[in-house]
Amino acid sequence: MMDRTDGLRMDRRQMLTGAASLLAALGLPALATAARAQGGLPMEAAQPYSFDALRTRARRLASSPYVAPPVPHSELLETVDFDAYQTITFKPSMTVEETPDPVRLFHLGRYFKTPVRLYLVEGDREREIAYHHDAFGYDDPDLEAKLPDDLGYAGFRLMNPDGRTDFLAFLGSSYFRSSGPEGQYGLSARGLAIDTGLSRPEEFPRFSAFWLHAGAEGEPFVIDALLESESVTGAYRFKVSTPDAILMDVDAYLYVRKDVERLGVAPLTSMFWYSEANRHQATDWRPEVHDSDGLALWTGSGERIWRPLNNPKVVRTSTFTDADPKGFGLLQRDRVFGHYEDDGAFYDKRPGLWVEPLSDWGEGEVQLVEIPTDDEIYDNIAAYWKPAQPVRSGDALHFAYRLHWVSKEPYPPEPVAHVVATRIGRAGVPGQERSDGKKFAIDFTGGPLDGMEQRFDIDAVVDASRGEVSGSYVVKVVGTDRWRAVFDLEASGSDPVELRCYLKLGDQVLTETWMYQYLPFDFAG
């Protein structure tokens, strides 16, 4: 993760996940000194620029085969491992100040060997930010002496006004992420996902160049980017604003080189090891370890759904068919420090990320991919929108959406209550013979349940794809505003069971729909 006092520094998880996603490198021109930014970085001579021209460039690139550029200085960068990377710092005096928020740059290393081209845009003119060896400070003089003068930059980050912390970073493939309102990095977003969760290797598109638009402090920060991969090219425009949360309006223009089986639009990437629901899988002392605890959906028809995350034994993909969805996101609803007890990683402060479509997305499905993990250093969760229409060579697609990096859901299911906890135990009643079944306890709060006194005429509507549900009841948890639905499930065999549950009072629906993929297991001992 980005360090809480200096976003340039990363932990081993970020380095490892970045290494898995990097593609071939893009060479940069030699040092030029035609002009300098306010921060002192060398700038190339000004050239005409427009976003329309960038779109035209992306379209033309899609009409020719993809050629992976060489990786310059690959062997040398291999020596810049995790420990060495931590000794390299970008000099504050070199900060790009012409933009609405100050910008600092990332160094290349073992896990980020691919340089990107960076441009400063003022009006209708661009100037390339050329590499400058003296932009970085090195604790190791031997390493500094080995590095060439045409190395290039790995990415960039947007700084907070204090000049010490950052709030948004672009680094590796098409990855970017924000520290959110509480200043703690967690899950990531990507420009595009291709063939995620299939039996063959995933394709990782990369942003090969960025255009950073100049502007005054307080204005939206406009970032343009060129996306390249074997199957797709794209022109992206990000408009970043920071009112109560960090918002990013995204316009993605995609041009398809070759047929794509699984196109993932607005992809999100996170980590889920274990929570209160699958505590039996834990080999760690902490009560819970995850960046996100569930997938929230707001369907085109208006239904609100909460799907707690899993850590399966094999890769599993769940689909949620929809048309013109109102939104979806990977969220960290549980924000109680005592549920994590980690004063270094601060999982209780990790941001959630909500995707709000701003254009007509048509028919398709939200896909949730869950990958096995036995540690917190691996991102094992992905969620994205997959269009129903097949993606063919020659297609031109446009998607507009807003990303909300938040602590609280931007559009909470206020007319209904929402899920706050999912727990699983042995079925049956204490003191009586127990079966091999499981007992589920789901806690809801908010909406029409707020202030409601204890009553016993609220029903839990429970459906299971297989097996038998019994013993369901609903009760208010004493001393809280939570209402708990409890039921037993008997299901033989090892196949997953798809569960749904919501609460109702007569004909009134009181809660969002809890959906869960139960993966049968035996308690140890």
Full 3-state SS string of 127-195 = EEECCCHHHEEECCHHHHHHCCCCCCECEEEEECCCCCCEEEEEECCCEEEECCCCCCCCCEEECCEEC
CB half-sphere exposure, 16, CA atoms < 13 A: 10
Report CA-CA distances (Å) from 439 to 66, 90, 256, 442, 457. Answer: 53, 53, 48, 10, 21
- Whether 418-518 and 12-274+282-406 are alike in CATH topology: the answer is no
pLDDT at 70: 75
Cβ pair 248, 235 in contact under 8 A: no
518 token code pair: 């139960």
DSSP letter, residue 29 = P
Fold of 12-274+282-406: Beta-galactosidase; Chain A, domain 5 (2.70.98)
Report CA-CA distances (Å) from 99 to 37, 89, 104, 213, 508. Answer: 11, 21, 11, 6, 51
DSSP letter, residue 389 = S
pLDDT at 124: 97
Q: How far apart are CA 344 and CA 346, in angstroms?
A: 6
Fold of 418-518: Immunoglobulin-like (2.60.40)
Report CA-CA distances (Å) from 156 to 51, 101, 105, 118, 243. Answer: 20, 12, 4, 9, 22
Cβ pair 455, 483 in contact under 8 A: no
In whole angstroms, how large is the CA radius of gyration of the chain? 24
| Mode of pairing for the β-strands spanning 246-256 and 396-406 | antiparallel
Residue with tokens 């699984």: 262
Q: How far apart are CA 249 and CA 220, in angstroms?
A: 10
The single-letter code of the amino acid at 473 is Y
pLDDT at 39: 59
Q: Where are the alpha helices (DSSP H) in 329-427?
A: none
DSSP letter, residue 511 = B
Write down the pTM of the prediction: 0.92
Residues 6+ apart with CB under 8 A from 17: 172, 188, 269, 377, 378, 379
Q: Which of 141, 139, 120 is nearest to 130 (CA)?
A: 120
83 token code pair: 């420990």
| Mode of pairing for the β-strands spanning 468-476 and 438-445 | unpaired
Q: Where are the domains of the chain?
A: 12-274+282-406, 418-518
Backbone angles phi, psi at 280, to 5 degrees: -65, -20
DSSP bridge pairs for 519: none
Backbone φ/ψ region at 163: left (φ over 0), alpha (ψ -120 to 50), beta: left
Low-confidence ranges of the chain (pLDDT < 50): 1-10, 12, 15-34, 525
Backbone angles phi, psi at 236, to 5 degrees: -120, 145
